[in-house]
Structure 1
Amino acid sequence: MINTKFKLNAICIAMLVSTPLAYAEQENTTDINNDVEVIQVTGIRSALSKSASIKQDSSGVVDAISAEDIGKLPDTNLAESLQRISGVSIDRANNEGNQVTVRGFGPSFNLVTLNGRQMPNSSVIQEKGVSRSFNFREIAAESVSGVSVYKTGKANVASGGIGATIDINTAKPFDYDGFKAFANVKAINDTSSEKSSVTPEVSGMISQTFADDMFGVLLSVSHSERESGRERVGTSQGWVKNRANPDGVDSSAIDTSVNPTGTYWVPWTPEMERFETERTRDNAQLVLQFAPTDKIVATLDYTLSRFEEISETNKMSFWFDNPGGTADQNGTVVDITNPNDELNFWAWELYEKKENDSLGLNLAWQATDSLKLSFDAHDSTSHSNPDGNTAETIANLKNIPGSVAMIGANFSTEVPSITIDDSTLPGGAYAQENIVSDLYQRRGYEMENNIKQYHASGMWENLESGAISAIHFGAMYTDYQIDTYLSEQFSFVDIPLDNLGMTFDDATGFADEFSGSDQLFPYMPRYSAQDFVDIVRGEGLFREPDISTNGVQEQTLAFYVSLDVNTEFNNIPIDMNVGVRYESTDVTGYSVKPAIIALNYRHAEELRPVYAAEATPQELEGEYTRILPNLDLSADLDNGYKARFSYSRTLARAGIGAMFPSTTINARPDGPYNASQGNPNLLPITSDNFDFSFEWYGNDGSYASVGYFKKFVENFIGAGVVQGTLDDINGEPLRDPSVNPRPGCPDSSDTPNPACMSQPSDPIVTFDISTPDNLQNREVDGWELNGQYMIEDTGFGVVANYTLVNSDEEFEPYNFDQTIALAGLSDSGNLVGFYENDDFQVRLAYNWRDEFLLSLGTEPTFTEAYGQLDFNFNYTINEAYSINFDALNLTNETVRRHGRFSEQLVSAEQYGPRYSIGFTAKW
């Protein structure tokens, strides 16, 4: 694992041999606000020189990346290209970049647009919930011509990003002079896959203009298949405070000077699991352009993406029902034992299918020599699991309860040492005659996100003398609609396992990059969750799903105006942009869910709500207005030096899941009694942003800059927890039938037993009800250090950047009332170097990210420091043909996540390097 100590060594190495970014953009195109001219370049040095020019000439703080040549971004994944920009770091799923964090603000605080248009998202599986955040793994890097990252707000840039607004640019036929085409074929080998097979990736584009450039058509397509694997060791449902009999925990080592209450933590379960994943991704874009005169251009485009991923996994674990053990000085029970228990043998199948479609129209009219008007409209939809397939299928087997004499785990190493004493069980815990069925669970996630957006804009350019050089103005209307459908089936079952076909694999060498891996479970079960469910169905024990529907609609109307000013002060050229944006948003949240009749004491670990047959709709509303000003100043000093100041007010809207009005109950006999409710009246999180930078630019594309940013953030959303009762369908408070159980309860029946359901004589339940609310303000600041140097006439070059981010309040491990902490806050750095000549390019890129808070929740999860080394080689056969080779995660780095302290393992994941070799042709 790469740790903090590795950071300084890696900096020294990568300064000599790492790879730079290509920040240039496409010929004859403009960014989303027509502010930055973008010119197509090829080659690393040329691209880096253009990136420095874009940064130098921009209004506010803008960074960009682009394809070094048609269909060739610096990395094989769009998110992994973005992470090379200072202040931008990424989250990974299955060892692939999927979402970005900018200046410490996670994915939900950044707005992603496609050609200036807000894009929908329906990712559910990875997030275990609903997210606004665009998932970059769904777009092939080959279909993207450039990306602009707006780190400061501007009146004429769509709102929604506190960290940044990230605009993805794709090509248009009028970008090229006549005919242009390319094709690329790759063979990919992911060493993490047990299949060790080679999968294909194919992409291409063809563009042509006709009738003296009056008509243009462009078609780009890509198809990618990936097979990958993952070895994971972790704990399920995190670590829980004081979850054991205090008499069974030795707390004598706890340091009461930092932990005065003597709080200790125990996990529910240690587990070891193996994933095998198959993914298919298809992208296509068709663009038609028509220019009847030299003053009018009409563009019609259709963008499509299809994404399908299936993961099958088996898991070996056990559940601590009555844990005891020894706590360390922090309060983590690191050495845990539990007598008279059993092992668990899990099988999971995860399925995700997404269909994204976007149809857009843009009309641009040069009304006069000084006035340009445009209208842009699009209707875009993202639909996950549209065919209703189940997203998760889960099965569990177990030993007969109490048949294993002792289970235990020691968490003093990176992964736990497992103890199993099955000496009292004839044949042992892994003998199939000692394994019985336990439960099955199926969850179906369907989600549809539709965005309709209309944008009318204009720009007046001053063709005469005067300080005001241009005025931008416009209006935008956005209708954001999201609908989710959740179906869930859960039941404990007793079924025969003769036809299940379960086997066991020797687990020697599992997760061997982590210390302590030689003491894990000795075997890994192998069987199919779907086969288990088929047996359940055949036995007539398959129950009908519980279904809930939730949705949110946001309608936002915005108006803006901004001025570009060019003047001088003491003979120093001064450029200024000043603007203001006004927005008004109406929010409606709805839930359709059956009302609760009573709580059913069905299982020793479950109080299950019993719902009415008919669903009851619930709807809540909210509204808010915001004024978002901005001011950008830059001064061109002597000898290539430049000073810059920016102020802007930006916003990020509340998370979708937080605005669903529905109530969810998660209760166990004798507690805890937890519930959650949404809040559609949440205000947006707003930030006043200040940026200062001092920059130097050389003549050959070299540059250096140091920047400081400060953000004053208001209305952070946290979980406000209140204690109270919840009513049943008749308006009476829910009661607990498990406190004084009646004969025959619990009975584990799928059909609720009236004797096991709440009755008037049962005690009223007091729930801990979690409701999101605008709770606190925060201050975030940091430094961005950038350097780019071209070694004269040698072909060598180097790029380095480092970002430091701080907050006025970070997570406090012994503050149990803390409901807000900024997830994603971390330092990050890139060290990139290259060599190129007329025949080939070589680059080596190292990216590092410090430890960060991944999520807060009931208990926090931290992702430990991670660094990855990637390699790229490209050989030019001639002007038309080239071959390329990519190697990702060369040193087989691993990912580890923990709770409040490093001993509280949440997940330790091991992947492997990934290689690809490709051939490119262009015409």
Structure 2
Amino acid sequence: MNQSKFKKNSLYAAILLATSAGAQAQQEASQAGNNADNVEVIEVRGIRSALTKSAQTKRLSDGVVDAITAEDIGKLPDTNLAESLQRITGVSIDRANNEGNKVTVRGFGPDFNLVTLNGRQMPNSSGLQSEGVSRSFNFREIAAESVSGVNVYKTGRANVTSGGIGATIDIQTAKPFDYDGFKAFASAKGIYDSSVEKGDSITPEVSGMISNTFLDGTLGVLVSASHSKRDSHRDVVGTDGWVRNRNADNVDKSAIDTTKNPTQAIWAPWTARVEHYDTERERQNAMAVIQFQPIESVTATLDYTMSRLEEVSQTNRSAFWFDSPEGDADVNGTLWNPRNPNDELNFWAWEYYEEKENDSIGLNVEWQATDALSFEFDVHSSSSHSNPNGTTAETLANLKNPSGSVALIGADFVGDIPSIIVDDSSLPGGGYVKENIVSDLYQQRGYEMENDIKQYHISGSWENMGSDTTLSRINFGVMRTEYQIDTYLSEVFSFVDVPLDDLDLTFIPLGDTADEFSGANLLFPEIPQYSVHQFIDIVEANGVYTEPSIKTNGIEEDTTSLYLSFDFDTEFNDMPVRVNAGVRYESTDVRAYSVQQGVLAMNYRHSQELRAVEDGVFAEQDLTGEYSRVLPNFDFSMNVTDEVVTRFSYSRTLSRASISAMFPSTTLNARPGGPFNATQGNPNLLPITSDNFDFSLEWYLEDGSYASVGYFKKFVENFIGAGTENREINDVNGLPLRDPSVDPRPGCPDSSDVPNPACLSQPGDPIITWEVATPDNLQNREVDGWELNLQYMFGDTGFGTIVNYTLVDSDESFDPYNFDQTIALTGLSDSGNLVGFYEQDELQVRLAYNWRDEFLLSLGNEPTFTEAYGQLDMSVSYDLSDALTVTFDGLNLTNETARRFGRFEEQLLSAEQYGPRYNIGVSYQF
């Protein structure tokens, strides 16, 4: 593009200069800097300003990039960063406790997306075993007030850190040189959660920032901090899972459609349960940034970012366990009306405890060596540590009626929630009185996990300063990433028989929130109330407490990356054309280790438990792997007119294998008589790669309005699934493990703390054939979809709207009747947003509805689906003065129920209700 053609469009130049969010946009703004004297500056404030800047980033980026821009510091459009991201076309979120926590982009779930902070890869850790070991960043850990913008790179770029085939999501934070001198703000909110039954219904959230420059603008200092506390409650109805062909002899299968289910497989629920969760959470975030410009050509930035999160959930549950259910299967094979005669009720107490410490320190130096040549050096060391004091993440206990003392238990899984059937007339006073309750078991489990990332990045850029060639810029760089994660999984599971005289056990009716479930009057009438820690104290006092065993696993990944890219500006038939072509080369070395005890024998401890007896000798096992990949990209955009942009992009991106899939340790999971399952990791897993094609047509107006339609196609290779093998597993002596429960000896089973020799494997017992699952790169997939987006400002009326919709499809979907399917794309779903806003003078109002279609959440022995979910949120702010603003936010205004199910919709896993949440706040700008 020649200079006269460029200057002719002053609006286009103004947009280019204004785009300051993100590394990509910063480079382009710098490129236009020499033309600043001829630029017409257009200033718009508020919601329209933020939306206009986001549209500018999308318009001027190479490839497909969407953005969120704060209208001012501390003013992202949602109270949670993930909830802001879900407003972007193609981005949807997972929720936990009625908050957004992880994101899915174009149907690819959290583990397929990479999150960076100011271009740096961030670590992650988790304490809960149910969360597993994930590379995926959890957005609940960072306060939205400290974020100035977010860029979502949906196509690959040579200079963008690899790791996301869905997207790379870059969170940007403020720096002192972003402001002209002194800048500060402070805000305070009261969070009102209508669900709270224990704790405070109103909790505080405060944040602030102060920034200033000194020494004639050569030194800048910025400090920000935030504190948030939230108490909440949720009610859950459901089951702990559905199992195929378990004890199916007493099930009527006549209604099964054998054209779809020819083997007449049936699915029975493990349990029926109702539980209360009461959660307390505190979060602190802080950031300090120092910038120094000793000479005009050099800028150095030193920054430190920290977050602290502590969350405790206390849970009580009424439930029962189906051992050998009777009943009728429906057309799919679901046992919808399970019944067990002569059984018992279960009364659980649970505590989830998670503490996380995240720290990052980094140094960045920019050097403008000549007018045309610049260099940048960036280094950071970041860590995430969960439960750093070794506190157990999950502690649970169960009480029950004496075995077989309840005449009948059952449930009807019809409608949104099941109906519970209990006949406890055989117990004097019923099943809910303490005199009819005995101890059953306790369990402790969870991770202490530490994830450390060190990155060293040297980059350079050469800019064409006036040559007639179409080549405008060359970018090059080298990066070194050292990724290490160490996990310490503690586990103990023990049946105990202890007196309950000193246990403070009471029962309460279902709470008001649970009563909002349709049919709640047919659930358990009462929920137990007791402390799991008091129960553990009683176990210890009676001398039957067993210390948890520790399993140690870890991964070290060292990746060296080289990249080179070229930018071209030219014309085709008087239409400006921009091209970016680049390539990134990566080489990764992997070392995985496990520290594990050898297995002596299997112990028949309980009618439902077959436990491995370990030898107490810890030995380390190391395995290694390596791979290299070439990741090219080509981005083409053309301004058909001053308002219309057409775009084509090709890129190859990758996502690395799940951490837990690479641990070399072997885990045994067995029940008397089977099933006998085992898993073993594979550090030689290759990364999942995707060849991505994007086509889009975009129409922009001067006031920030735009419409776009985009089509994308992804060819994904090396999807990871569980390859299974039936084989024997040997003990420490090289002999195959055997099953002592088939023909039990006298006195067995025996749950004594010291194993009963009669209940251990002996040479005459049958050899166990284990189904061993090992992750492997098994299949390829194709994914395609459409992204439709409209952002429109209704002239000077103050009204505006955003409407977007994403359609996603794959060449292979989950088949509920294919029992051998080990690979399916989790997170694949359509999604949409409808946002209306009004902004005039001091008043800003926004109403936003977000919807996500049904999707596959996980695929284990049985799948878990999340039902379609829509949520209505609103926000209102009013400027009392140029400095003082009051705000009101309402979330989940219609009190939606989040529902998950198994292989079929009638296989309810959980229905959860949270209640609406409201925030009232005030902020002051200095």
Q: Provide the TM-score with structure 2 as the length reference.
A: 0.96
Paired with 1:395 and 1:911, the residues of 2 have a C-alpha distance of 25
Question: Which of 204, 207, 212 is equivalent to 2:211?
Answer: 207
Query: Comparing 556-565 with 194-203, which one deviates more in the overlay?
Result: 194-203
Relative distance call for 1:278 and 1:508 in structure 2 (3 A) is: closer
Question: Which of 162, 165, 168 is equivalent to 1:165?
Answer: 168
Q: In structure 2, what is the equivalent of residue 596 of structure 1?
A: 599
Question: Which of 552, 557, 570 is equivalent to 1:567?
Answer: 570
Q: In structure 1, what is the equivalent of residue 523 of structure 2?
A: 520
Question: Which of 462, 467, 479 is equivalent to 2:482?
Answer: 479
Q: Is the 8 A contact 1:74 1:81 kept in 2?
A: yes
Q: Does residue 670 of structure 2 align to residue 667 of structure 1? A: yes
Q: In structure 2, what is the equivalent of residue 346 of structure 1?
A: 348
Paired with 1:101 and 1:772, the residues of 2 have a C-alpha distance of 22
Q: In structure 1, what is the equivalent of residue 223 of structure 2?
A: 219
Q: CA deviation at 1:366?
A: 0.2
Q: CA deviation at 1:570?
A: 2.2
Q: In structure 2, what is the equivalent of residue 540 of structure 1?
A: 543
Per-residue displacement from partner, 1:278-321 (whole Å, max 9, x unpaired)?
00000000001110011000100010000000000000000011
**Mapping of residues 753-902 of structure 1, within 5 Å:** 753-902=756-905
Q: In structure 1, what is the equivalent of residue 429 of structure 2?
A: 427
Q: CA deviation at 1:730?
A: 1.2
Q: In structure 2, what is the equivalent of residue 378 of structure 1?
A: 380
Q: In structure 2, what is the equivalent of residue 14 of structure 1?
A: none
Q: In structure 1, what is the equivalent of residue 23 of structure 2?
A: 31
Q: In structure 2, what is the equivalent of residue 737 of structure 1?
A: 740
What SS does the aligned partner of 1:638 have?
coil
Paired with 2:924 and 2:239, the residues of 1 have a C-alpha distance of 48
Q: In structure 2, what is the equivalent of residue 9 of structure 1?
A: none
Paired with 1:190 and 1:563, the residues of 2 have a C-alpha distance of 52
Q: CA deviation at 1:40?
A: 9.4
Give ranges in structure 1 of 5+ residues lacking alignment.
Answer: 1-22
Paired with 2:444 and 2:666, the residues of 1 have a C-alpha distance of 20
Paired with 2:263 and 2:837, the residues of 1 have a C-alpha distance of 55
Relative distance call for 1:824 and 1:283 in structure 2 (3 A) is: same
Q: Is the 8 A contact 1:888 1:915 kept in 2?
A: yes
Q: CA deviation at 1:127?
A: 4.4
Q: Is the 8 A contact 2:188 2:204 kept in 1?
A: yes
**Mapping of residues 577-592 of structure 1, within 5 Å:** 577-592=580-595
Q: Is the 8 A contact 2:129 2:447 kept in 1?
A: no
Q: CA deviation at 1:487?
A: 1.1
Q: In structure 2, what is the equivalent of residue 16 of structure 1?
A: none
Q: In structure 1, what is the equivalent of residue 56 of structure 2?
A: 53
Q: CA deviation at 1:245?
A: 3.5
Q: CA deviation at 1:66?
A: 1.6
Q: CA deviation at 1:874?
A: 0.3
Amino acid aligned to 2:479 = M
Paired with 1:559 and 1:568, the residues of 2 have a C-alpha distance of 30
Q: Is the 8 A contact 1:508 1:522 kept in 2?
A: no
What SS does the aligned partner of 1:48 have?
helix
Relative distance call for 1:567 and 1:27 in structure 2 (3 A) is: closer
Q: CA deviation at 1:48?
A: 1.6
Paired with 1:43 and 1:861, the residues of 2 have a C-alpha distance of 41
**Mapping of residues 229-248 of structure 1, within 5 Å:** 229-236=233-240, 238-246=241-249, 248=250
Q: Is the 8 A contact 2:416 2:518 kept in 1?
A: yes
Q: Does residue 701 of structure 2 align to residue 698 of structure 1? A: yes
Q: CA deviation at 1:468?
A: 0.5
Per-residue displacement from partner, 1:749-770 (whole Å, max 9, x unpaired)?
1111112111122111100111
Q: CA deviation at 1:700?
A: 1.4
Q: In structure 2, what is the equivalent of residue 922 of structure 1?
A: 925
**Mapping of residues 341-740 of structure 1, within 5 Å:** 341-464=343-466, 465-507=468-510, 511-638=514-641, 640-740=643-743
Q: In structure 2, what is the equivalent of residue 314 of structure 1?
A: 316
Amino acid aligned to 2:201 = S
- Stretches (4+) displaced over 4 A: 23-30, 38-41
Q: Is the 8 A contact 1:109 1:162 kept in 2?
A: yes
What SS does the aligned partner of 2:246 have?
coil
Relative distance call for 1:25 and 1:91 in structure 2 (3 A) is: farther
Paired with 1:102 and 1:444, the residues of 2 have a C-alpha distance of 29
Q: In structure 1, what is the equivalent of residue 187 of structure 2?
A: 184
Q: CA deviation at 1:54?
A: 1.7
Paired with 2:43 and 2:601, the residues of 1 have a C-alpha distance of 66
Give ranges in structure 2 of 5+ residues lacking alignment.
Answer: 1-14, 31-41
What SS does the aligned partner of 2:338 have?
strand
Q: CA deviation at 1:28?
A: 5.4
Q: Is the 8 A contact 1:28 1:175 kept in 2?
A: no
Amino acid aligned to 1:245 = A
Per-residue displacement from partner, 1:527-562 (whole Å, max 9, x unpaired)?
011110011111111112211100001000000000
Relative distance call for 1:691 and 1:637 in structure 2 (3 A) is: same
Amino acid aligned to 1:136 = F
Per-residue displacement from partner, 1:468-488 (whole Å, max 9, x unpaired)?
000000000000000000111
Q: In structure 2, what is the equivalent of residue 7 of structure 1?
A: none
Amino acid aligned to 2:55 = A
Paired with 1:49 and 1:263, the residues of 2 have a C-alpha distance of 56
Q: Is the 8 A contact 1:484 1:549 kept in 2?
A: yes
Q: In structure 2, what is the equivalent of residue 13 of structure 1?
A: none
CA RMSD of the aligned region, Å? Answer: 1.5
Q: Is the 8 A contact 2:21 2:69 kept in 1?
A: no
What SS does the aligned partner of 1:423 have?
coil
Q: CA deviation at 1:32?
A: 5.8
Q: CA deviation at 1:701?
A: 1.2
Q: CA deviation at 1:36?
A: 4.7
Per-residue displacement from partner, 1:99-149 (whole Å, max 9, x unpaired)?
000000000000000000000000242743110000000000000010000
Q: In structure 2, what is the equivalent of residue 133 of structure 1?
A: 136
What SS does the aligned partner of 2:906 have?
coil
Q: Is the 8 A contact 1:31 1:148 kept in 2?
A: no
Relative distance call for 1:615 and 1:178 in structure 2 (3 A) is: same
Q: Is the 8 A contact 1:49 1:700 kept in 2?
A: yes
Amino acid aligned to 2:564 = V
Q: Is the 8 A contact 1:511 1:909 kept in 2?
A: no
Q: Is the 8 A contact 1:862 1:899 kept in 2?
A: yes
**Mapping of residues 243-262 of structure 1, within 5 Å:** 243-246=246-249, 248-262=250-264
Q: CA deviation at 1:393?
A: 0.8
Paired with 2:701 and 2:624, the residues of 1 have a C-alpha distance of 55
Q: Does residue 335 of structure 2 align to residue 333 of structure 1? A: yes
**Corresponding residue pairs, total:** 899
Paired with 1:395 and 1:705, the residues of 2 have a C-alpha distance of 54
Per-residue displacement from partner, 1:563-590 (whole Å, max 9, x unpaired)?
0011112222211000000000001110
Relative distance call for 1:639 and 1:41 in structure 2 (3 A) is: closer
Q: In structure 2, what is the equivalent of residue 293 of structure 1?
A: 295
Query: Comparing 32-41 with 754-763, which one deviates more in the overlay?
Result: 32-41
Paired with 2:283 and 2:101, the residues of 1 have a C-alpha distance of 14
Paired with 1:250 and 1:658, the residues of 2 have a C-alpha distance of 39
Q: Provide the TM-score with structure 1 as the length reference.
A: 0.96
What SS does the aligned partner of 1:145 have?
strand
Paired with 1:73 and 1:87, the residues of 2 have a C-alpha distance of 19
Paired with 1:863 and 1:433, the residues of 2 have a C-alpha distance of 40
What SS does the aligned partner of 2:514 have?
coil
Q: CA deviation at 1:24?
A: 12
Q: Is the 8 A contact 2:53 2:69 kept in 1?
A: no
Q: In structure 2, what is the equivalent of residue 906 of structure 1?
A: 909
Amino acid aligned to 1:92 = R
Paired with 2:131 and 2:581, the residues of 1 have a C-alpha distance of 41
Q: In structure 2, what is the equivalent of residue 15 of structure 1?
A: none
Paired with 2:832 and 2:430, the residues of 1 have a C-alpha distance of 51
What SS does the aligned partner of 2:689 have?
strand
Paired with 2:140 and 2:464, the residues of 1 have a C-alpha distance of 43
**Mapping of residues 112-123 of structure 1, within 5 Å:** 112-123=115-126
